[in-house]
A and B are shown apart, each in its own frame.
Chain A
Amino acid sequence: MRSTAIETFLDDAMNPVRVLKPLPCRELDPLPGPVSRASLVLDLACIFVPGRTRALLSGQGGEPGSIEETVVKWAHARVRSLVGTLLSGDVRVVAYRPDAAALTGLGPGLTPTGDDLLVGLAAMSQRLVGGGLVEARAAVAFSTSLAGLPSEETTPAANRLLQNASKGQFPSVLASAVEMLGNPHADPESLRTLTVRLAATGAHSGADLLAGALALVHGVIDGEEKP
């Protein structure tokens, strides 16, 4: 039974484990498993997606008129734009800057939501290069744009994450989940476990990182092009 009790729990009140640690980062597996659009579709059906992630992916969340609603709306719009740029194969760093700059420092958290979205997106874009679903140089251009973001615009913790992401290093909980997405040989149970674990990281960082990664997955599946 696909119960939502753990969803409710992770969505609800405080995460019981206060993760005060900065997340150690690692590179994605250099020998990526195959990734196909078809298996991405199947994966979306079985992974764990908490409420916060869904809100960011849909652009709808929070009480009407609240700051939270605005954050979700702004974030959604910018991420969608970045996904479009990535999938159109644009190799100019400058094409990604405005959206990335708008996202950095956006929202609540010691690593603000916008920065987590950028890092999740970067990780997924690197993974999908392997399946030919994202143009390699576009992914590189996007990562490079992260390195150039002014450090005073966001928190030190987020800066560290962005710098690592620009060098292809991602929090290991994110890397593990991203490596398995879209792999037709991965078993659904492990994939679900990894996404649950990612979602459980931090107060909401995990959910935000996941949203960044899934935004690109949705973009690939829906066949989005830059408007």
Chain B
Amino acid sequence: MSTRVFVHPGCYQDSARLMQVSRELAALPGVSESVAMMGTQTNRRLLADAGFPESELAHASPLDMIVALRTDSPEALDAVKAALGRLLEGRGASVAAGGGSAAARRPGSVAEALEAHPEANLVSIAVPGPYAAFVAHRALDAGRSVFLFSDNVSLADEVALKRRAAGLGLLVMGPDCGTAILSGIGLGFANRVERGPVGIVGASGTGIQELSCLLDRKGVGISHAIGTGSRDLSEAVDGVMTEAGLALLARDPGTKCVLLVAKHPAESVARRLHGILAKLGKPVAVRYLGEPARGAVDGVLYAGSLDEAAEAAAKWAGARAAPAVIETIEPGERGGAATAQGESRLVGLFGGGSLAAEARCVLAAHGVETVVPAGKLSVRAPLPPGNLVVDTGDDAYTVGRPHPMVDQTVRCELIRAAGADLSVRVLLLDLVLGDGAHPDPAPELVECVVAARAARGGRPLAVVVSVCGSRRDPQGTARQEDALRHAGIHIASSAALAAGEAAALLPRVREEVAR
């Protein structure tokens, strides 16, 4: 008679499955007793008292499943190991939908997928908006957190989902959550960055991406980046998931400091969050995109740019200061002779609203007033006047089309249109790399810029691109930067830096002489 203990770490098995394991193993020949229980302190004590080897029990935790056995032969033990393997993979005696060729067949619904994979701990949803809330609730039904990439989910549904999730102690990241990185695993559009001590909570996907890349360039890794969806800090949603994310990072031993990024939080929410941030217990920096710097308030740093926030975090993480990437603009390249108002302007074409907001903020600080054109720009009509900043990720451009981070068609058309307009002297772009994005965007962009320049009869067109990419991104950040550089395109490592350079490149406006 020998006793044996198997410990399966992090093994999420519902009680019915635990019972099934106990029962099926007990029925095997040569097994006189088998019991499957979670590794709580009391159970470990119980098993130790019953004569099971303590040393094997010592390492189990309440998140682990312990299978304790009394067998009378080594052969019985082999049979047990095989049966246990089968049971944990979910191939029990019942008719699974799919049966013998279950491996080949995909589950037909989230509920079934979770039943077949009890070890799954997250549901990622990118179905059309009208169905997303339904599916998210099914994930919550099964006790799993949700990464909700889908947009076009109603506000009422979002509030209901997040309140329910909060009550259950689960996360609903979204709707309209473009990016998250948990335990080093990317979700949605995410850059491949190292693990490290900086935690991020963000209502802006690209905001999270740029922060993670800026930190990556400084050699600093992140612990987790928790996305909350773009509307989380609105009054109706009241920051439920932002608060949840902050609480998680506050308790996470791997997180030493925290960054928060969002666009235009509601007053009341920002105020409440401030209280929470001030008492978080770890250094915090906040970037509310589009807002000017406010410095430290009650110990919370309200940065004026993503760069500033990343810089603060890097310092807290103990990194040596590293220079930002920015191609030095030769003096000769700057604007040239002054021109009349309206004769030389800037057009910014961004893949998303967050970096567009960042750029506008910096441009304004440099005295360049920008305007966001109402409605969709047509490539056949002349561009409206003024310094334009366009978010090509806006609904107007994306209905029926893939996301601009994946498909550059719309942006390229607009580049050509801007190029054809001789009053446009500077083009400001963002290029966001990482998983989920276009596999090789720089060459396409270069081709576009070259064509645009060729149609201007020699009139210069300066192009500045902020490259949001990490050292390990699949597109090869260095390679992308090289391609741009060789085409005479200025590159910068952040939207703020790029905007600053774009402002410098714009010819000064000649003072109108009063007649």
Taking the complex as a whole, does A directly touch B, i.e. does some CB pair lie under 8 Å apart?
A: yes
B141 at the interface (CB under 8 A from A): yes
CA separation between A157 and B20, bound complex, in Å?
A: 19
Determine how close the nearest CB of chain A comes to the CB of B135; give it in whole angstroms. 15
Determine how close the nearest CB of chain B comes to the CB of A187; give it in whole angstroms. 32
CA separation between A191 and B383, bound complex, in Å?
A: 74
> Are A156 and B62 closer than 8 Å at their CB atoms?
yes
A98 at the interface (CB under 8 A from B): no
Please report whether the interface of chain A is mostly helix, strand, loop or mixed according to DSSP.
loop
Chain A binder among B41-49, B227-235, B256-264: B41-49
Residues of A within 8 A of B14 (CB): 18-20, 110, 203
> Are B168 and A205 closer than 8 Å at their CB atoms?
no
Given contacts A67-B50, A203-B14, contact A22 B19 (CB under 8 A): no
B61 at the interface (CB under 8 A from A): yes
> Are B143 and A155 closer than 8 Å at their CB atoms?
no
B268 at the interface (CB under 8 A from A): no
Q: Which residue of A lies closest to B111 (CB)?
A: A20
Determine how close the nearest CB of chain B comes to the CB of A18; give it in whole angstroms. 5
Interface size class of B (residues with CB under 8 A): 20 to 34
Determine how close the nearest CB of chain B comes to the CB of A136; give it in whole angstroms. 27
Q: Which residue of B lies closest to A18 (CB)?
A: B16
Determine how close the nearest CB of chain B comes to the CB of A209; give it in whole angstroms. 12
A70 at the interface (CB under 8 A from B): yes
> Are B37 and A112 closer than 8 Å at their CB atoms?
yes
Given contacts A105-B41, A108-B22, contact A155 B63 (CB under 8 A): yes
Determine how close the nearest CB of chain B comes to the CB of A105; give it in whole angstroms. 3
> Are A110 and B42 closer than 8 Å at their CB atoms?
no
A192 at the interface (CB under 8 A from B): no
A224 at the interface (CB under 8 A from B): no
CA separation between A79 and B396, bound complex, in Å?
A: 64
Residues of A within 8 A of B35 (CB): 66-68, 108
> Are A108 and B18 closer than 8 Å at their CB atoms?
yes
Given contacts A20-B115, A22-B143, A22-B168, contact A70 B50 (CB under 8 A): yes
Chain A 92-127 per-residue mask, 1 if CB under 8 angstroms from chain B, else 0: 000000000011111111111010000000000000
Q: Which residue of A lies closest to B94 (CB)?
A: A14
CA separation between A204 and B22, bound complex, in Å?
A: 14
Residues of A within 8 A of B114 (CB): 20
Residues of A within 8 A of B46 (CB): 67, 70-71, 74, 106
A160 at the interface (CB under 8 A from B): yes
> Are A203 and B19 closer than 8 Å at their CB atoms?
yes
Residues of B within 8 A of A27 (CB): none
Q: Which residue of A lies closest to B37 (CB)?
A: A108
Determine how close the nearest CB of chain A comes to the CB of B252; give it in whole angstroms. 15
B477 at the interface (CB under 8 A from A): no
CA separation between A68 and B141, bound complex, in Å?
A: 30
Given contacts A67-B33, A67-B47, A112-B43, contact A203 B61 (CB under 8 A): no
B142 at the interface (CB under 8 A from A): yes
Residues of B within 8 A of A110 (CB): 13-15, 18, 38
> Are A112 and B42 closer than 8 Å at their CB atoms?
yes
Chain A 31-57 per-residue mask, 1 if CB under 8 angstroms from chain B, else 0: 000000000000000000000000000
B169 at the interface (CB under 8 A from A): yes
- Can you spell out 23 A-B residue pairs with CB atoms less than 8 angstroms apart? A14-B16, A18-B14, A20-B115, A21-B142, A63-B33, A66-B35, A67-B35, A105-B38, A105-B40, A105-B41, A106-B43, A107-B37, A107-B42, A108-B36, A110-B18, A111-B15, A112-B40, A152-B61, A153-B41, A153-B42, A154-B42, A155-B62, A156-B169
**Chain B interface (Cβ < 8 Å from any Cβ of A):** 13-16, 18-20, 22, 33, 35-38, 40-43, 46-47, 49-50, 61-63, 68, 114-115, 141-143, 167-169
Q: A105-B40, A106-B42, A112-B37 are in contact. List 5 more A-B contacts (CB 8 A).
A: A20-B115, A70-B50, A108-B18, A108-B35, A109-B15
The 6 closest A-B pairs by CB, nearest first: A105-B40, A203-B15, A105-B42, A203-B16, A106-B42, A109-B15
**Chain A interface (Cβ < 8 Å from any Cβ of B):** 14-15, 18-22, 24, 63, 66-68, 70-71, 74, 102-112, 114, 152-157, 160, 202-205
